[in-house]
């Protein structure tokens, strides 16, 4: 609404469509309250935006630290030839990506334009897909590890039974009747 300066009467303005509009004047008291509310809202908006930006940075840094530590541990496990390197790496990467996904979700609070929303949505989708793939790999790795452990324990128990049969002393005649069925 544009104010037409040709009118000298207070509270009467002409809109862009050349309509005359009479606006009720506010008292000084209500103008003071409205301006104070505007200041409080702007202050709270600024505090919220700063807090969210701090939380975003914190989550990003924690995610990067976790991924870095996991990478160093994975390299150490590879050099020392330990088992389950892939499973350990997948768990660490998954945890780090979850922190980074949390920071992207927080970022949606402070975006202002549609372009930023689309970029953040794309990043969230990509990180969610990566997290799901890592969880799938972890689940399959754990199932394979359990299957290998079950096979090795079964083979060990079968070997122990066979070795145990060879090492048994022959049954004496005294107990022979009790052992036969």
> Whose CA is closest to 83, among 151, 132, 134, 148?
148
**In whole angstroms, what is the distance from residue 145 CA to residue 170 CA?**
40
**In whole angstroms, what is the distance from residue 164 CA to residue 158 CA?**
10
> Tens of pLDDT along 84-134?
888 889 889 989 989 998 998 888 888 878 888 888 889 889 888 888 888
pLDDT score, position 5: 46
> Tens of pLDDT along 130-162?
888 888 888 888 888 888 888 888 877 776 555
């Amino acid at each position: 609404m544009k104010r037409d300066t040709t009118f000298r009467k207070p509270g009467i303005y002409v809109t862009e469509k050349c309509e005359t509009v009479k606006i009720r004047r506010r008292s000084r008291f209500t103008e003071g309250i409205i301006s104070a509310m505007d200041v409080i809202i702007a202050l709270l908006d600024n505090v919220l935006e700063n807090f969210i930006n701090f939380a975003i940075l914190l989550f990003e840094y924690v995610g990067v630290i976790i991924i870095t530590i996991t990478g160093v541990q994975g390299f150490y496990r590879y050099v020392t030839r330990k088992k389950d390197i892939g499973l350990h790496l997948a768990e660490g990467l998954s945890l780090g990506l979850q922190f980074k996904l949390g920071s992207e979700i927080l970022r949606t609070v402070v975006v202002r334009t549609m372009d930023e929303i689309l970029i953040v949505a794309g990043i969230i989708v990509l990180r969610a897909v990566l997290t799901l793939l890592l969880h799938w790999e972890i689940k399959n790795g754990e199932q394979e590890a359990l299957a290998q452990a079950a096979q090795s324990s079964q083979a060990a128990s079968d070997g122990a039974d066979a070795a145990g049969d060879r090492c048994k002393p022959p049954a004496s005649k005294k107990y022979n009747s009790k052992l036969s069925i």
